[in-house]
Structure 1
Amino acid sequence: MKKIVTLFTMLLVVFAIGVSANAAYAQEKYPDNSTKKFSDVNSFYSSLDRSHYTEYENAKMNIREKVLFKDINKVFSKADRLVGETRVGGDGYNPKRQVYVFLTVSEDGKDSKNLVVDAETQKTIAKGEPLKKP
């Protein structure tokens, strides 16, 4: 019995080390870039491929912000009263990594689109669009 308890304890320690090493690797994959300079959010929006994201014409609300990864959901919460709760998460992103956040709400308030892009790599982190109607 003592051998089983010892073996189980050793497995737990190895598992805990593996989990913490994996978490450290994930944050290194997208490290803190809060001191780096990137283009302002409006310049970046102007350079976006319009097939990837566009704001609604006569939108009820448009949000364009460059924020730290940890603040994405604070930006989205500004539209909660119009579109309900929209939230984004992501593994491997340092909370102090800069991102561009875009959100647009249609004129009638029934549809919304959003886009979150890594400011450094310019890769999409999250994208939300209304379902296409048949």
Structure 2
Amino acid sequence: MKKIVILVTMLMLAFTVGLSSNPAYAQEKYPDNSSEKFVDVNTFYKSLDKSEYTEYKNAKMNIREKVFFKDINKVFSRADHLGGKARVGGDGYNPKRQVYVFLTVSEDGKDSKHIVVDAETQKTIAKTEPLKKP
């Protein structure tokens, strides 16, 4: 019994030390950039490729915000009552990473679409389009 307790303790210690000494585990692919300055959200929207994202004409709701990665879902939750139930998550993103969030809800409230873009790299993190009707 004593050998089992010692073995389990050694395994737990090895696992804990292994995680804390692994630089890949400690490093984020997309680190905090909260102190950096990026263009305002409306300027960035104007530069977006219109084949990537456009707001609905006569939209019931349009959201354009530059927020921290940790706040994306708070922005999306404002459209939940209109049928825009979107959520985004991701590994490797620091919670204080700046992102642009765009969401639009159709005039009748039946469709919504969004895009989330990294403010620094300007790469799309998440994107949805409404379902195409046959």
- What TM-score bracket applies, with the shorter chain setting the length? 0.7 to 0.9
Structure 2 distance, partners of 1:84, 1:111, is 7
Deviation at 1:123, TM superposition (A): 1.1
Q: Structure 1: where are the runs of 5+ without partners? A: none
Q: Which residue of 1 aligns with 2:59?
A: 59
Q: Do the aligned partners of residues 74 and 51 (structure 1) sit closer, same or farther apart at CA in structure 2, a change above 3 Å counting? A: same
Structure 2 distance, partners of 1:58, 1:84, is 16
TM-score by length of 1: 0.87
Please identify which structure carries the higher helix content.
Answer: 1
Q: Which residue of 1 aligns with 2:8?
A: 8
Deviation at 1:17, TM superposition (A): 4.0
Q: Which residue of 1 aligns with 2:88?
A: 88
Percent of paired sites with the same residue: 77
**Cα deviations across residues 57-94 of structure 1 (Å, max 9, x unaligned)?**
11111100001111111111111110153221111111
Match for 1:55: what amino acid? E
1:112 aligns with 2:97: no
Q: Which residue of 2 aligns with 1:24?
A: 26
Structure 2 distance, partners of 1:9, 1:109, is 57
Match for 2:44: what amino acid? F
Kindly tell me the number of residue pairs found equivalent between the two proteins.
132
Q: RMSD value over aligned CA atoms?
A: 1.8
**Cα deviations across residues 15-46 of structure 1 (Å, max 9, x unaligned)?**
33445545422x3x211111101111111111
Q: Which residue of 2 aligns with 1:133?
A: 133
Structure 1 distance, partners of 2:43, 2:109, is 26
Say if 1:23 and 1:92, in contact at 8 Å, map to a contact too.
no
Q: Structure 2: where are the runs of 5+ without partners? A: none
